[in-house]
A = this chain, B = another copy of it.
Amino acid sequence: MQNSLDGVKAILFDTFGSVVDWRTSLIADLSAWAAGRGIVADWVRLVDAWRAAYAPSMDEVRRGERPWTKLDDLHRATLARLVAQFGIAGLSEADLDHINLGWHRLRPWPDSVAGLTRLKARYVIAPLSNGNVALLVNMAKAAGLPWDMVCAAELFRHYKPDPETYLGAAALLGLRPEQVMMAAAHNGDLRAARACGLKTAFFARPTEYGPHQTRDFRAEEAWDVVAEDIIDLAARMGC
């Protein structure tokens, strides 16, 4: 571990894509659920379209065009639009609610739980995610993610990459920005965190978007740590 990282007390993790494999999880979850009900739909395309609407829907909030709206509600509004667009018939409101909660049931990448468990012995670990608290708490219970705290964008009423999220999480933990490390599979998240004074750790998730992945195959800047995955991050952080 480099000396400049000796002062790190907490590690914040991007969650969707970095800790959990949203695409494979959602496709499997929805396909199995629909098969059991005889509902035919192209869940792969729907999941990709759902995720494609993620950043634009948060950007409306970030630009102030829409009042603060938690991610569960952004997801739900996008889902209603996509179900109509894809012509999926016969879904009740309760069905749509169940599908929407698929984001609460995402599965971790194979290294996530083991790596986080090692890091937890030495550092405060928490998600710093655009997911809302209920989503992240339910996900953690289902997936076994051993967080010390859940830092959700909802607590700051700002979405990443707004600086209020990175600085707000450090303040809640009673730490200075340089005592906090942001860990993510997304270079853009780390750029925003570094601009706020946080330390940074990158590990690639090259299959996050399946065949549609176009970026984040590798570290694009000299991040403080570049690791293979979260287990390797634990080793590099002395755990």
A interface residues, Cβ below 8 angstroms from B: 72, 124, 132-135, 137-138, 140-141, 147-150, 154-155, 172-175
What are the residues of chain B within 8 A of A154 when measuring CB–CB?
172
**Contact present for A137 and B155 (CB under 8 Å):** no
**Contact present for B155 and A148 (CB under 8 Å):** no
Count of identical protomers in the assembly: 2
A134's partner among B72, B132, B137, B172 (CB-CB below 8 A) is B172
A105 → B minimal CB distance (Å): 14
- Bound state CA distance, A195 and B118, in angstroms? 42
What are the residues of chain B within 8 A of A134 when measuring CB–CB?
172-175
**Contact present for A140 and B148 (CB under 8 Å):** yes
- Bound state CA distance, A132 and B150, in angstroms? 14
**Contact present for B173 and A149 (CB under 8 Å):** no
- Bound state CA distance, A149 and B138, in angstroms? 10
Can you name 5 A-B pairs with beta carbons within 8 Å?
Answer: A72-B174, A137-B148, A138-B174, A149-B149, A155-B155
What are the residues of chain B within 8 A of A133 when measuring CB–CB?
149, 172-174
Q: Taking CB as reference atom, which chain B residue is nearest A121? A: B141
What are the residues of chain B within 8 A of A132 when measuring CB–CB?
172, 174
